Amino acid sequence: MKARIIAAGMLAAALTLPLSGCFDIVGDTTDSPVDSLTDLVENAVEAADQLQDVEWDKLSRAVVRDAATGDVVAEVTDQPTIEAAFAPFSSKNGLTSKPENAEEYLIEVWQPTTVKLGEDAADAEEIQILEVITYRDSNVVTLTVTPLDLTLHLDTSADTADVLRALAE
């Protein structure tokens, strides 16, 4: 845990100024630089914890919406298909800014809550853990960790963007 906090702090310090436009997690510009950096470190640690806690093999569904209309285009519940679509996110992806291209698809990723000892499995709820936006004619995707409202714009490979788009078919 201590190593993760140190790494998150070093990453946050290195990225605060040159990449502050890529994050929706940098504090208000009226905040002091120390307060902004502290907020960024805390949010980076929370994001790392949240993404680490995603049980990729337990995702229950991915809902694909047309970004312009909000209409549901597809709902994917096949576990191997969902895992295959999100597996490329473990590869190296670079941070970038939001593209000017039109939004194409909004993909909501849902996971059931953990059933604790003494709870009835029928009472388990689903929570949205990720939201991904693809853009027309672009490899850039926007990834939002919804419980934290943390948004990153990632420059992915063409294959990664295409696999996500394929969920709509």
Give yes or no for a contact between 129 and 110, defined as CB atoms under 8 angstroms apart: yes
As beta bridge partners, residue 106 has 65, 133
Q: Which CATH architecture has domain 56-166?
A: Sandwich (2.60)
Residues of the chain with CATH 2.60.40: 56-166
What pLDDT sits at residue 45?
56
Q: Please tell me the predicted confidence (pLDDT) of residue 46.
A: 56
pLDDT class of 18 with cuts at 50, 70, 90: very low
3-state helix, strand, coil in the chain (%, to 5): 40, 25, 35
Q: Is 154 helix (H, G, I), strand (E, B) or coil?
A: strand
| Residue (of 100, 62, 54) closest to 78 by Cα position | 62
**Distance in angstroms (rounded) separating the CA atoms of residues 11 and 84:** 28
Look at residue 105 in the predicted model and tell me its pLDDT. Answer: 97
- Lowest mean pLDDT of 9-18, 23-32, 108-117, 122-131, name the range: 9-18
Confirm if 64 and 167 have CB atoms less than 8 A apart. yes
Q: Which range is most confident: 4-8, 11-15, 137-141?
A: 137-141
Local confidence band at 83 (pLDDT 50, 70, 90 cut-offs): confident
